[in-house]
Amino acid sequence: MTSRREFLTAQPLREALQQAAQADGECLPLAANTVRLGKTAMASDFEVILNAGAAGLLSAASEAVDLIDQLEDQMSVYRPHSALSRLNARAATEPVVVERQLFELLRTSVAYARETEGAFDPTAGPLVALWRHCRRERRLPTDDELHATRARVGFGDVEFNDDAGAIQFRRPGIELNLNAIGKGYALDRAGEVLAKADGRYHRQEAVGQVSTSNSGSTQEGAATPNSTRPAGDWLMHGGHSSILARGNLRGADGWPIALRHPLFPNRQWAVIWLKDGAMSTSGSAVQFFRVGDRRYGHLLDPRTGWPAEGLLSVTVLAPTAAQAEVFSTAFFVLGVEKARRYCHNHPEISALIVPVTKRGQRLDPIVCGISETDLNWAADESSRSDSTSSHSTSAPTSPPAA
C-alpha cells in the first residue's frame, strides 16, 4: 500500500483536493475511482462515498441516505408534525413518550451538556433564533431580549423517565433542539445500515455465495473469497463539516480529508487521515455578520447568550460522528485549556484547535492527541520555524478532571 505522503503527491488527488477547497467545511477526498450517492437533508448535502467496484454496498448506501430523510422528519424543530416539535409543544404540561432511540439521543444530549459545563446545550434554540433574527436586521440583541431569551434556556429543566420513555419540562419556554448533534447522529445511524450490509456481504462470501457468470468467472463488482474487497470501505458526510469513515480510500491507509485554511477558505491548509472514526469542524470563517466594525460569529456560548470568542476553528476526531459534532462545538466555546484537559482525560477524543491571531501573525494551531502520521500540513505550514511548539500534543501537567 502506498504511504500517505506518497499518496498525497499523486497529481489527480492534489488537483481534486485543490478543487474541494472551494467547498464549505472540510474538503472531502476526491479521486477518479469512487462512487457517490447523496441527497439534500437537514439543510445540508449528505453523501456516501464508496470505492469503485463496491457493488455489495450500493443498495445499502441508497438505504442509508434515505434514512436521513426519516430522521430529519423525526428531529426537525422546523416541521410542526415532527416528534421533537410535538414533544416541545406538550412537555411543559405533561410527560411525553417518544420513540426509544430519540429518547436515548435526547438524554445523551443533556448528559453532554452537563459534561461540557453547558458549552453544548440542546435547549439553546431560543438564543439561536434570537441571533438569527438580529442578523437579518443587522443589529445586536438588546439587553432585555437577551435576558428574556436566556430565561428560556436550561438543560437542567429537562426530566427523563427511563421506565416510561417519557420526557417532561419543569417550566414553560424550555424546548429541545438537536442542531449541534443531529447531523452527526444521522451519520451514525446511516453508518449502522452500511455496517449491517457489509456483515451480510462477509457472511455470503464466507460460504462461497459470490456472483459468477456462466463461464465460472466472477462478475464485475462481485467479490472472490481471496480478493481484497472494497465493500467495507466507505465515507459519509453531512454538509462537509461532519464526517464518518470506515476503512480506506483504495490505495491509501485511511481517507484523506483536506482542511481549508481558517482565515482563507479557498486555500487548503492541512490533510487529516480518517480511518474507522468520525470528524467534525466548527468555525467562524463562513457564518458571521458585522455590526459596525465588529465581527460576530454564529457559534453561541449558551451560558452568556453571546457569540463565543477566542478561537478561529476546532476540528475534533472521535469514535462517533455525534461525539465529534458535540465536542467541536463545545471546545469552540470552552477555549483552549479546557479542551486540552478534556482530550487528555478522554484519549478517544482528539482535536486541532486554532486560536485567534493578531493581524499579520501566522496561525498557531494546537494539536491535542492527533498523531503526526494522521496530520499532514500544507507546504507553507510545515516549513514554519515554530512548528514544534505550535503543533505540540502534550497535555497540561496534572490536569484536573473534565
Give me 356's grid cell.
Answer: 485567534
Where are the alpha helices (H) located in 23-99, listed in sequence order? 58-75, 83-90
Alpha-carbon distance values, 278 to 84, 142, 275, 316 (Å)? 25, 39, 8, 8
pLDDT of residue 221: 36
Using CA atoms, how far apart are residues 76 and 81, in angstroms rounded to an integer? 9
What pLDDT does 392 receive?
A: 35
Q: What nine digits make up the cell of 92?
A: 411543559
Strands (E) located in 190-322: 234-238, 242-246, 255-260, 268-274, 277-283, 288-291, 294-297, 311-318
Query: Residues 88, 176: contact at Cβ < 8 Å?
Result: yes
Fold annotation for 4-71+181-207+226-390: T-fold (3.10.520)
pLDDT on residue 216: 38
Distances (CA, A) of 347 to 255, 315, 317, 365: 21, 15, 10, 19
Give the contacts of 34 (CB within 8 A, at least 6 positions apart).
Answer: 49, 50, 51, 52, 249
**378 phi, psi to nearest 5 deg:** -65, 160
**pLDDT tens for the 402 residues of the chain, in order:** 555 655 554 444 455 445 444 444 455 555 548 899 999 999 999 999 999 888 788 999 999 999 999 999 999 999 999 999 999 999 999 999 999 999 999 999 999 999 999 999 999 999 999 999 998 898 999 999 999 999 999 999 999 999 999 999 999 999 999 999 999 999 999 999 999 987 665 555 555 543 333 333 333 333 333 334 445 899 999 998 999 999 999 889 999 999 988 888 788 899 999 999 999 999 875 556 666 667 777 899 999 999 999 999 999 999 999 999 999 999 999 999 999 999 999 999 999 999 998 776 788 999 999 999 999 998 665 434 333 333 333 333 222 233
pLDDT at residue 271, rounded to an integer: 95
First to last CA, the chain: 39
Domain with CATH 3.10.520.10 in the chain: 4-71+181-207+226-390
pLDDT of residue 333: 97
What is the reported pLDDT for 8? 55
CATH superfamily, region 82-169: ApbE-like superfamily (1.10.3980.10)
